[in-house]
Chain A
Amino acid sequence: MWLFIVSDAITFSAVIFAYGYLRLAAADWPRPFVAASIANATVMTFVLLSSSVAMVLAVRASSLGKVSAAVGWLVATALGGIAFDILHIHEWLGLIGEGVRPFHNPWGTPMFGAAFFTMTGLHMLHVTIGVVYLLVIAVGFGRRKFSATDVEVSGLYWHFVDLVWMFIFPLVYLLSAKTA
């Protein structure tokens, strides 16, 4: 899992670097995120960080042999992921409603939409896969088919997804906050 995480980290870095490149090269990068969007993204960050803590507690419970507690915390972590996805899709639909498309938007350089949807979409995909992964692990661990190590490894993946958001949130949202 660690090797996968490092390679996935490089994938995300490449996407983030591409965003930085496009933004530097474009003269009129839009800053469309109003206070409500920033508040929404901040809540999403809190949800994801808190789900990571639930994951730590799940790993802890599983290594102590407390099966039902571990399953409960795993489900809580997955619920955090689902809440994150719902808030994020709500955000997407808002932007799409305002006319943002991958190669067109009402404010500035057309590449904004491509960069935004690629970065946040790739991350949302990771969260969604993570939710499925955690639920599979929860069921399997509950039936004692998976070991505490399996729970720990799924935890590594989940914390990594959280970690990536710690970069996407400031770079995409905070640096494009509508201040005026």
Chain B
Amino acid sequence: MEHAETTGLKIVFSVWFGLLGLTVLEVILAYRQLPLQTMLSILMVLSVIKAALIIAYFMHLRYEQPSLFVTLIPALVFVLIMMTAIFADSTRLAHMRSLVQ
């Protein structure tokens, strides 16, 4: 954060248009008759790309010391992976409910 490196305006506006374009793409996809899993996967990949663009250019993490990236991102990814541990349980719940009914 110390060295206030200014991102070039050209890059800022390209990123902006890229983000708007990806949003439009997502909305179009929402009206395609795709299976829920496929749609979820595509939307999540697009969202992660958008988040990465925001972090890299708007929050200019790309221009910071690599140590900041190493401090922040792997820990976050690790916590997210840990959270997926509960997911198998939710499908079990749905299955159990169908057994009761």
Contacts and interface: CB of A to CB of B under 8 A. Distances in A.
B47 to A, nearest CB: 5
A64 interface: yes
A102 interface: no
A45 interface: yes
A160 to B, nearest CB: 7
A153 B4 CA distance: 11
Contact of A25 (B36, B43, B44, B94): B94
Given A46-B20, A156-B59, A21 B47 contact: no
A50 B16 contact: yes
Contact of B1 (A27, A53, A149): A149
B6 A60 contact: yes
Contact of B76 (A6, A20, A174): A6
A17 interface: yes
A93 interface: no
Contact of B79 (A10, A60, A162): A10
Given A162-B54, A166-B51, A42 B23 contact: yes
Given A9-B76, A10-B76, A175-B40, A170 B59 contact: no
A17 B86 contact: yes
Q: B interface, by DSSP: helix, strand, loop or mixed?
A: helix
Contacts of A170: 26, 30, 43-44, 46-47
A20 to B, nearest CB: 7
**Range of interface residues on A (Cβ < 8 Å):** 35 or more
A59 B91 CA distance: 46
B91 A24 contact: yes
Given A24-B87, A152-B4, A163 B23 contact: no
A29 B84 CA distance: 20
Contacts of B29: 174
A49 interface: yes
B35 to A, nearest CB: 12
Contact of B90 (A13, A25, A153, A175): A25
B90 A179 contact: no
Interface of B: 1-2, 4, 6-7, 9, 12-13, 16, 19-20, 23-24, 26-27, 29-31, 33, 36, 39-40, 43-44, 46-47, 50-51, 54-55, 58-59, 68, 71-72, 75-76, 79-80, 83-84, 86-87, 89-91, 93-94, 97-98
Q: Which 6 A-B pairs have the closest CB atoms?
A: A174-B30, A63-B4, A25-B93, A24-B90, A170-B43, A25-B90
